[in-house]
Structures are given as C-alpha cells and as structure tokens.
Amino acid sequence: MEPISALAAATIPAAIGYAWWRKAPLSLALAVAILATFGLSVLAARLDSATGIYGFWDDLLVWKAGPSHSGPLSYVTMMFVHAGLFHLVFNLLFLILIGPLLEERIGAVRWGVLFFLGGVVATLAFEAVHIADQFYYILGASGGLSSVFGAFGRLYPRERLRIWVPIPLPPMPAIYWVIGFVVVQFLLSLVAMGGGPLSGIAWEAHIAGLAFGFATAPLVMRIPARKKPERLRDFSALRPLAKGAELDEVLGHLSKEPLGEVQRAWLEKFAAKAVCPQCGRPLRFTRGTMRSECGWKLRIT
C-alpha cells in the first residue's frame, strides 16, 4: 500500500478514536475522515504521474479484475473514498444531516454497527449481483448511509423529515421517505440497465444497505448502550396550546423523547406552529421559555 493510501486508511481508526476520546458524534468524526480521504485522493492523483488516482483506488477500493480481488480491509476503506465532488458532497450532506439525528438517540456504538456492517453487506450484495462480471469496482459511503436511513425509518417511522430533493416536498413521515427511496432506486436501476451515466451507480448496493438497516434495527437496539438517557420531562403545560392534529403529534413526541437536544428541536417546532393564547401571534422558544411579542411567556421546566 502506498504511503498516501495508508494515511487515508489511518483516518478511519483515528476518527473512531477521536470520537470515543472526546465523546464527539461518531457520524461527524467519520464525515471529517471522508473529507480528509478525498483530499488525499486529489493529492495522490497529482503526485503520481504514472497511475494517478487509480493507484490510490487500487489500494482502498473493493475491485475485481479477472481472478484478482482486493483485500478484506477494502470493504471498510472503500466507504471513505468517493469518485468526485458531487458524489462526496451528496454523501456528506446526508451523513451530516441524518447521521447525528439517529446517533444521538441510539448511541454511537449502535450507529457504528449499522453504518459499517450495513456498508459491508451492501458491497457484498453488489458483488453477488455482479458475480459473473470479469471487472468491477465499488466505492463510497452510500451503502452504510442507506443502512442508517433504513434503521431510522424502522425505529422512528412516524417522525416527519424534510429532505432536500430537486423538487420541493413537504415534511413527511420517515417511513414514506424509506418507501420512496426503494421505489426510486429500483426504477433508476432499471433505467441504468440501458447504459448511460446512471449505469455506473451501484443501485443494488443502496437497496441492500437500506434493507439491512430496516431489517436489523431492532436487533441492533439490543446492543448495550453506554449512553445514559436524559430524564423525561413534563410537557403537560403545553396541552392548552396544542390546537390541531399536528401540534398534538408534536406534543406526543415530546412526552416520549428522553434526549435534551431532540426535545429542544421538538419544542422549537411546537413554537413555530402554535400561537399565543393572549394575542394570537406566533410564538418562539428561547432559553427554555415559550414567548410572544405581547409579553406572554411560559417556562418549560
């Protein structure tokens, strides 16, 4: 393995070690490792005039060339290598926006199992589909991220998510996004069979990763978590403000959510939808208190 490739591989245990040592979110630490690996891949392409990026990829990707196959370590390292800027940005955005949301609720160990094991299963599924091919390679974090997304849909199916897509869509329950993801991936895989730019995307790995996360999420939750849950709080004081089904649903989530950061997110959403009982103006949630412009306020203990 070339020195730059070895340095890129070393960012993975370094990120895991940093997250454990500093009690930082594992998902964000891995995002930094992915970004660092991309920077090293650009450096490798510029320094090696003979093989360019392909020497770097040979060291870290899962590939097959006739009877030859990459080593077992590549099933992990390939998750941190990306083919281009768009591929990198798309996966990083998904990792940063969705990763911490689930990790904070289930803990870093469980999240890490879903991400890494889901990525390996997704790659193996891709290889099973392409077993007759003489040559292929696969790279990227999409399989592991699909696993995390599938687990989120299984564990929190009714939580409303707003996900950036090319067309504006309203917030929808997570399970709807999961179903839509499977349908879109299946349709795109059919289109890719005809060739073109979509044929280079491992659609089957995305579906396999999501299926793995969705199917195994309850089993992964049996892994003992070191993270101590925060106390449940009494939000009954908000009941008079919960006018309508949407606010009722938010209040229901609040009453069951033990994590402080998630509670604050739900409280901010509640304030954005509720109105002041005195003046009818919108509310805002700041410093643990629901407030209105007229001076009305309600402290949330």
Instruction: Give 162-176 pLDDT, tens digit per residue.
Output: 776 666 677 788 899
Burial (CB < 10 A; 0-12, 13-18, 19+), residue 14, is middle
Instruction: Give 210-233 pLDDT, tens digit per residue.
Output: 999 999 999 999 998 765 545 556
- pTM for this predicted structure: 0.75
Domain carrying residue 94: 3-220
**Alpha-carbon span 277 to 283, nearest angstrom:** 10
* Strand ordering across the sheet containing 68-69: 68-69, 62-65, 135-138
What tokens were used for 76? 């992990």
Asked if 263 and 117 sit in the same domain, the reply is no
Instruction: Give 77-89 pLDDT, tens digit per residue.
Output: 999 999 888 889 9
Residue that terminates a domain, selected from 195, 220, 245: 220
**Residue 53: CB partners within 8 Å, gap ≥ 6?**
41, 44, 45
The pLDDT of residue 191 is 67
The pLDDT of residue 208 is 93
The pLDDT of residue 218 is 93
Give me the helices (H) in 167-300, please: 174-192, 203-220, 245-256, 260-273
CATH number of the domain that residue 29 is part of:
1.20.1540.10
| 215: Cα separation from own chain's centroid | 16
Please indicate, yes or no, if residue 173 is contained in any of the structural domains: yes
* Strand ordering across the sheet containing 284-286: 284-286, 289-291, 297-299
What tokens were used for 186? 């299946």
Residue that terminates a domain, selected from 189, 220, 251: 220
CB 258 within 8 A of CB 231: yes
Whether the CA torsion 268, 270, 273, 274 is positive or negative: it is: negative
The pLDDT of residue 284 is 85
The pLDDT of residue 98 is 87
Instruction: Give 185-215 pLDDT, tens digit per residue.
Output: 777 777 666 555 555 677 788 999 999 999 9
Please indicate, yes or no, if residue 229 is contained in any of the structural domains: no
Instruction: Give 14-61 pLDDT, tens digit per residue.
Output: 999 999 998 899 999 999 999 999 999 988 888 866 666 788 888 999
Residue that terminates a domain, selected from 220, 253, 277: 220
* Average pLDDT estimate for 60-68: 91
Instruction: Give 130-162 pLDDT, tens digit per residue.
Output: 899 999 999 999 999 999 999 999 998 888 777
Please indicate, yes or no, if residue 230 is contained in any of the structural domains: no
What tokens were used for 205? 């790995």
Question: Which of left, alpha, beta for 107 (phi over 0: left; psi -120 to 50: alpha)?
Answer: left
Asked if 83 and 129 sit in the same domain, the reply is yes
The pLDDT of residue 142 is 93
Q: How many domains does the chain have?
A: 2
